[in-house]
Structure 1
Amino acid sequence: MNYIWDLLIQAEEQGFRRSDIYFTLATSYSPYMELSPQVLNTTTIEQTVQINPYYRYVEIFKDLFPPDNSIDVEIQSYLLDIVIHFLADIDRMQGMNYKEYLMRFLLQEFAANVFGSDVQQYCQALTKTEREIVALNMIRMYQTGDALYNFKDTLKKLFPYCAVYIRSEDKDEVLLYIGQQRTAQRERKIQLIRTLFMPINFTLDIYWAQHFGIVDVEDTMKIDHIALY
């Protein structure tokens, strides 16, 4: 990590909020680095981050911290933190493409209850990365119109060990094998994917730790480990 935007992204991935991170002027820093951690190659996120604001923003901060100043130091420190957060947001937006903008808007709509209170609650069971996967697949579904493909793809990405079977001979049905024990959090994830992606004419049968038997597939035909279909 060398840049403020990189640190904030990694902090979010570790569960920190933007407001948890406080930027402060480093007492000693390299002129060749923006961040000034005590351990250069650290991957640990500290909530108080010492930075060199002159690395990229000397024109903004050159008059803020004169070396002999002892007046309004606390106000200057607060101002530094606010402005650095603002500049980090600009950094991140400049690096975003059109799809990432759409993803951000969708994530805001999930949180704002635009898709309903159920979706808002189900989203709480997802990590930041998982919410982004769901949002990106929704964008692709809107672009391609292929709901079933994105339904299966989202399940595969959120449940790496799952198997999805589509039956449409006599009725439209999805058989979903999770390959993990049933928990409330995993149920909420499945309900979110079902609500957003699964066509309304399909039904869903979920099998958790035990697979239903398939003739000639040995792994699914073990005694005491077969779920009834």
Structure 2
Amino acid sequence: MQYIWEVVLAAEKNGIREADLQYEVPEVRSPYLEVSFYDLNTQTVEQTAVEVNPFYRFFDIFSGVLDINQKEYGKTKEIFVDAVFHYLALTDLRMGMSRKDYYFKFLVEELESGQFGRKAKAAIQLFSSYEKKYIVLALMDVISSRNYREIFKWLFQEIYQDSIIYKSMDCANELYIYVGSAETQEERKRVQFLLDTFLPIGVRTEVFYQEHFGILEVEETMILDKVLLI
């Protein structure tokens, strides 16, 4: 890793927030790197202290403050360096983010902070980071296209790889959903969150978990003891 934005991304992968990082200027530092690690090839961040070279890219900002001939105000300088590097790190990240990246970041934060309601806040914690990514992408697509059903079908099958979604032959607003996983309290909450969030009011659903329902003239769905009748 060579730049502070790389450190931030690596830290977040390891569960360390950018706000928890502590940027420090070591007495001995490489003039060719912005960040210093004992192992120059490391790709992980496991501690909050990050040694930085403030002159690598930001000489104009720090040259006056960190003049080696000025020894006083040591603690104040440490606080200044840390505060400014937090700002610079976030600026680095934002410069590389598209509008879609911004929306993605804010939607995740809003879901996790409860701005979509307490039930949504509790439910979103049941999904992995990988699954949250698809949920937020689907939300963004719904907002822009309003194509609820197709987006719901795509999202559900991304999260539940063995799932199958059928539309009723008798009622256009009725869906039969085979999840393809064991029915547990957690799975029921996850599925209900997806139904409540992505399907419009008026769409009725029947949800089946591990056991598929029987479909006439489809032989593999009509095996005795492994089929539900509807």
TM-score, normalised to structure 1's length?
0.82
Secondary structure at the residue paired with 1:151? helix
TM-aligned CA distance change 1:221 to 1:55, over 3 Å: farther
2:62 is matched with 61
Stretch of structure 1 that moved more, 125-134 or 56-65: 125-134
Structure 1 runs, 4 residues or longer, greater than 6 Å off = none
* TM-aligned CA deviation for residue 72 of structure 1: 3.2
> In the alignment, residue 61 of structure 1 is paired with which amino acid?
F
Listed as ranges, the gaps of 5+ residues in structure 2 are: none
Deviation digits for residues 84-131 of structure 1 (CA, Å, limit 9, x no counterpart): 111111112212222223333433443454432222222222344433
Please say if residues 119 and 195 of structure 1, whose CA atoms lie closer than 8 Å, have aligned partners that are also in contact: no
* TM-aligned CA deviation for residue 141 of structure 1: 1.2
**Counterpart mapping for 1:1-229 below 5 A:** 1-46=1-46, 47-67=48-68, 70-170=71-171, 172-214=173-215, 215-216=217-218, 218=220, 220=221, 224-229=225-230
Secondary structure at the residue paired with 2:165? strand
Secondary structure at the residue paired with 1:56? coil
RMSD over equivalenced CA pairs, Å: 2.7
* TM-aligned CA deviation for residue 148 of structure 1: 0.6
Please say if residues 13 and 128 of structure 1, whose CA atoms lie closer than 8 Å, have aligned partners that are also in contact: no
TM-aligned CA distance change 1:83 to 1:136, over 3 Å: same
State the number of aligned residues: 228
* TM-aligned CA deviation for residue 146 of structure 1: 0.3
Stretch of structure 1 that moved more, 83-92 or 27-36: 27-36
Question: For 1:8 and 1:108, how far apart are their aligned partners in 2?
Answer: 17
TM-score, normalised to structure 2's length?
0.82
Identity over the aligned pairs, expressed in percent? 28
Stretch of structure 1 that moved more, 34-43 or 170-179: 170-179
Question: For 1:29 and 1:189, how far apart are their aligned partners in 2?
Answer: 49
> In the alignment, residue 38 of structure 1 is paired with which amino acid?
Y
